[in-house]
Amino acid sequence: MAGVVLAKGKDRRIKAGHLWVYRGEIASVDEGVAAGDMVEVRDFRRRLLGRGSYNPASTLSVRLFTREPQEAVDRILLEKRIAEALAFRDRIFPGETTLRLVFSEGDFLPGLVVDRYGDHLCVQLGTLGMERFRPALLEILDQQLHPRGIYERSDLSSRSHEGLSPAEGILAGEIPPAIDLEIDGIRFRVRVREGQKTGLFLDQRLNWREALALAAGKRVLDVFCNTGAFALYALKGGAASALGVDISEASLGQAREQAGLNGFAARSEFRAANAFDFLRERDRASERYDLVVLDPPAFTKSASSVPQAWRGYKEINLRALRILSPGGFLLTSSCSYHLSAEDFLAILREAVSDSGRRVRLLALRGQSPDHPVVPGVPETRYLKFALLHGS
């Protein structure tokens, strides 16, 4: 197999468990290697480090699939990895039919995401290497899962960095306009063709339960609510009322629909607004809520914009603390990878200090385990979730 040779001293991350080789770490590429080819990655002494897909168009020029000297990157490996991913989900969520089945590097299948919604699958192919396996992947998923339909949501902006165009549509079988399902006794209606990303933000599924446990009799505010999952859990838990706020009227329409499906319409309201403006207005009006949820989209997608994102996260958390009732709870999140857990805690410390409140940190968590974290690939640990109690 043709090879990619790393410059001296550029193999440390790979040896520590990372799966990405950056363009600037490569000293040489064997003649004849083309975009999308599988290559061997070697250190400057030409010792084998692993095998993966090569794409010179991307800053991440190689994504490793295996480190085993005798293991080829082929259909057999894909079948094995997908079977391992499914077996893992069966252990952590036995009998569950709504979850993430494959989480890219988290399952050592870089560029592949598969979500399951009952009898239907939603997939993303994010890299050129995985795109080359498209026919085999569809056959494997059909053979191992027998879905009624497979829908593709490869409309990621990152595909352009791979030299790929966005791709979306039905790949196999039938996909209804809406898929009805149930999680923790709550009814959801998922529209994989219209919703953000692959339908539901399943990485928060265990964190949703905090709202269920804390909301009884409470006045709840769910900011950046999307389709209303946190609000639905709070209402299921007996919240006196829940107000969801989001900029997307389409998402709010789904939130209202789901509240109605669960019999929560009379206790819920979903309002279109800019979250920053709304929080400032609530603060000026001296409004108070017993449970506040902040689940914003990523405020930064690059290291260069972290300072601006820091200010944004601090602003919303400061405002949320100021409108939190005495004895209330704040559930707050960040899904920005470039903002570390330590950074997130530092932001919360600043917000608490500026709010003048006495606050306890009760929990600091990450994403649901069906989005597994690989220690050597810190990018797989992206979601930070904190539970705060204000005195």
pLDDT band at residue 199 using 50, 70 and 90 as cut-offs: confident
3-state secondary structure string across the chain: CCEEEECCCCCHHHHCCCCEEEHHHEEEECCCCCCCCEEEEECCCCCEEEEEEECCCCCEEEEEEECCCCCCCCHHHHHHHHHHHHHHHHHHCCCCCEEEEEEHHHHCCCCEEEEEECCEEEEEECCHHHHCCHHHHHHHHHHHHCCCEEEEEECCHHHHHHCCCCEEEEEEECCCCCEEEEECCEEEEECCCCCCCCCCCHHHCCCHHHHHHHCCCCEEEEECCCCCHHHHHHHHCCCCEEEEEECCHHHHHHHHHHHHHCCCHHHEEEEECCHHHHHHHHHHCCCCEEEEEECCCCCCCCHHHHHHHHHHHHHHHHHHHHCEEEEEEEEEEECCCCCCHHHHHHHHHHHHHHHCCCEEEEEEECCCCCCCCECCEHHHCCCEEEEEEEC
What is the predicted pLDDT for the residue at 195? 73
Helix 249-261, helix 229-236: angle, nearest 10: 20
pLDDT digits (tens, 9 = 90+) for 115-166: 999 999 999 999 999 999 999 999 999 999 999 999 999 998 889 999 999 9
pLDDT of 198 strictly over 90? no
At 374, list the tokens: 């690989």
pTM confidence score: 0.94
pLDDT of 177 strictly over 80? yes
For the chain, domains (ranges, CATH) are: 3-66 (2.30.130.10), 75-179 (3.30.750.80), 201-390 (3.40.50.150)
At 183, list the tokens: 């999680």
pLDDT digits (tens, 9 = 90+) for 63-72: 999 999 999 9
pLDDT digits (tens, 9 = 90+) for 233-287: 999 999 999 999 999 999 999 999 999 999 999 999 999 999 999 999 999 999 9
Measured in Å, how far apart are the chain's first and last C-alpha atoms?
A: 63
Question: Active site residue: 316, 335, 347, 352, which one?
Answer: 335
What is the predicted pLDDT for the residue at 303? 81
Confirm if 352 and 322 have CB atoms less than 8 A apart: no
What is the predicted pLDDT for the residue at 221? 98
What is the predicted pLDDT for the residue at 71? 95
What is the predicted pLDDT for the residue at 196? 72
Confirm if 89 and 99 have CB atoms less than 8 A apart: yes
Report the C-alpha gap between 51 and 69 in whole angstroms: 8
pLDDT of 81 strictly over 90? yes
Burial class (CB in 10 A: 0-12, 13-18, 19+), 206: middle
Q: What is the mean pLDDT of the chain?
A: 96
pLDDT digits (tens, 9 = 90+) for 342-390: 999 999 999 999 999 999 999 999 999 999 999 999 999 999 999 999 9
pLDDT of 197 strictly over 80? no
Average pLDDT value for residue range 179-183: 96
Report the C-alpha gap between 231 and 264 in whole angstroms: 10
pLDDT band at residue 1 using 50, 70 and 90 as cut-offs: confident
Q: Which residue has the higher pLDDT, 302 or 312?
A: 312
pLDDT band at residue 290 using 50, 70 and 90 as cut-offs: very high
What is the predicted pLDDT for the residue at 219? 98
pLDDT of 304 strictly over 90? no
Judge whether 335 counts as a catalytic residue.
Answer: yes
What is the predicted pLDDT for the residue at 229? 97
Taking every pair of Cα atoms in the chain, the longest distance, rounded to a whole number of angstroms, is 69
Confirm if 85 and 49 have CB atoms less than 8 A apart: no
